[in-house]
Amino acid sequence: MVRGYKRLAGAAVSLAVAGTLAAASLVTGAGPVGAESPAAGKGEYLVFYGAGGQAEALRAISAGGGAAAAVDAKLGYIVAEGPGTAFAEALGASPAVVGVTGNRRIGAATALAAGAGPATEPVSLPVSSSQDAAASRQDEAASRQDAGAASEAASVRRVPSRGSAARRGEPLSGRQWDMRMIGATPSGSYAKSRGSKRVLVGIIDTGVDGRHPDIAANFNRSLSRNFVTDHPKDPNGRSLDGPCEYKRCKDPVDVDDDGHGTHVASTIGSPINGIGIAGVAPGVSLVNIRAGTDAGFFFLKPVLDALTYAGDAGVDVVNMSFFVDPWTFNCARNPADSRADQLQQAGIITGVQRALDYARARGVTLISALGNGSTDLGDPTVDKESPGYPLGKQRQRTIDNSCLNVPAESRGVISVSAVGPSKRKAWYSDYGTEQTDLSAPGGDPSDTGSSLKGTAREILAAAPTRVLRKQKLIDAAGKPTSSSVVRECHHGSCSYYQYLSGTSMASPHAAGVAAILVSRFGKPGKGGLTLAPSRVERLLYATAIPVSCPASGSTTYSVSEETHTCSGSAAMNGFYGHGLVSAYRAATTKG
């Protein structure tokens, strides 16, 4: 996951002993309740109302001295502006209001156009305006002037014959222990089903480098969207996303300034093209549905927009390697929190669940990373990471099982734990008998149960050149400066790949397997193929390889000096869920 999940996936985390762990919490929720605008002394809020409670919620907003800017009737919330934290707490007293979450102005569809009066009728918020679409097209055209991007795009046109690559495997396939573990190889699932181009897999993440030579052929630019706007600084004036690189600080739909989303997309669907690696489902279409900032924050409004769009656009599977900020665990009634904080967390729980329900009802199979907190989610006791925004505001609080990691513990979501190359549960991976649905390769630098060494125990997938250059992981000449980066060249053009670990790296393996199942059993639907999420879920569980708990019933991790207890049978347990995902079994099952 990115930022939120102990930075194991998303914003790559370097651990002294465990190597680079992909930031485990890509879920960055809306900003804190009462995040007032310095100029106006007011805050913007997402006010979630109960069934039939829209009119009463609008009255409560007005009575509290606020104003409604927009209404999203699909998910049942109002975008409102009001005078600070006291306003949010006053709204919480209304029986019609079920959550109030402060909203940071991220993304093009945060509110209605300037000048619009208070909403009195249900208004469906647009995914993007024609003005935003035009600006996006201008940004895309400008981005093609980037020398590095132009070089990468050129290399796509010089791909060698695919026949031999399909038989022998891609140039870097020898480094893909993860694909061998799940049977995604030339003699395995690739020989049976590589996935259909008509299947759309959405990557809700930090973006996707759509011009990477090992992604471009499968990247669906026309359906991709970016729901965030980069913010150079945080409210305290500290650097956040870095300098704006495009007009209006809005990146094109084929840009990833973090690298997390590109790695995830590559694992799902890098094509078989004689370049680098191949993904789990190398024949599917990849759709960037960006909800994460350059800094790896996933705020509530962009996450809601991304999930709603996935449902409306006919996306078949989405991968969510993140948690919604700013809370690692959301507790609607935790006495350790203020009333304003409780309302914010209730808003996140409610809003994300509604968006997930909306997408699932429209045929979207929901796959999530479980988390990198090394925690039994069935018995959490302490949260030291929240709130993660504004920066530096974390505090230790006592929590219990009523507190939820969102979206991993939300209803209708298939949550995935991570294993290392020996199939041992990764030391960092969260677990739980009620929370773990499946397991998949996520990498574990501390897993000594195989012949692999160091970074080779992690997951290798595509990385954006300019991100690696910015992180000084490649030098001016393009040579890697770290063993975590691999350069693969042919015909004078090179592409880059990076080793990362995390449950963020595990869930895309499951998403790829889900895409294979939709490709095989889906029926013609909106823009392609469709298969009911409930059936995809059943097939995923049926084709998973059962893995029993360790013989001792627990596993001790020397890296963190922790003991994690595994409960359950081989058919279903807290470490592996229904088992290890299998691309080969998905490609060969009779359904």
151's enclosing H/E stretch is helix 147-156
Residue 346 pLDDT level (bands cut at 50, 70, 90): very high
504 is catalytic: yes
In this structure, is residue 2 part of a structural domain?
no
User: 118-127, 233-242, 266-275, 418-427: lowest mean pLDDT where?
Assistant: 118-127
- Catalytic: 260? yes
Calculate mean pLDDT across residues 73-99: 93
For residue 142, being part of any structural domain is answered with no
User: Do residues 102 and 190 both lie within one domain?
Assistant: no
Q: Show Cβ contacts of residue 376 under 8 Å, excluding neighbours closer than 6 positions.
A: 430, 431, 432, 564, 565, 574
Closest-CA residue to 118 (of 74, 75, 76, 59): 59
Note the pTM of the prediction, 2 decimals.
0.86
Kindly name the residue from 128, 446, 504, 507 that is annotated as catalytic: 504
Q: Are 32 and 387 in contact (CB under 8 A)?
A: yes
DSSP H or E segment with residue 349: helix 339-361
Same domain, 289 and 250: yes
Pair (192, 129) in one structural domain: no
Establish if 154 belongs to a structural domain.
Answer: no
Out of 13-27, 82-96, 277-291, 435-449, pick the least confident.
Answer: 13-27
Q: In the chain, how many domains are there?
A: 2
Residue 100 contacts residue 91 (beta carbons within 8 Å): yes
Question: Coil, strand or helix: which one is 71?
Answer: strand
Look at residue 177 and tell me whether its pLDDT is greater than 50.
yes
Determine the pLDDT at residue 546: 98
- pLDDT(344) > 90: yes
368 in active site: no
Q: Please list the alpha-helical segments (H only) found in 274-325.
A: 300-313
Average pLDDT score over residue span 488-507: 94
Instruction: Say whether both 115 and 178 belong to one domain.
Output: no
Amino acid identity for residue 198 in this structure: R
Mean pLDDT of all residues in 260-281: 98
Res 41: pLDDT = 52
Average pLDDT over all residues of the chain: 84
Does any domain span residue 55?
yes
Spot the catalytic one: 132, 209, 256, 260.
260
Domain assignment of residue 423, given as a range: 13-28+168-588
Are 140 and 252 spatial neighbours (Cβ–Cβ below 8 Å)? yes
SS3 call for 524 = strand
3-state helix, strand, coil in the chain (%, to 5): 25, 20, 50
Whether a cis peptide bond, with omega within 30° of 0, leads into 380 is no
- Between 15 and 223, the higher pLDDT residue: 223
**How many Cα neighbours within 13 Å face the side chain of 375?**
26
- Alpha-helical regions (H) of 398-522: 465-470, 503-521
151 within some domain: no
Q: Out of 132, 205, 214, 257, which one is annotated catalytic?
A: 205
Specify if 434 maps to a domain. Answer: yes
Nearest to 22 by CA among 282, 489, 401, 372: 372
Tell me the percentage of the chain whose pLDDT exceeds 90: 72
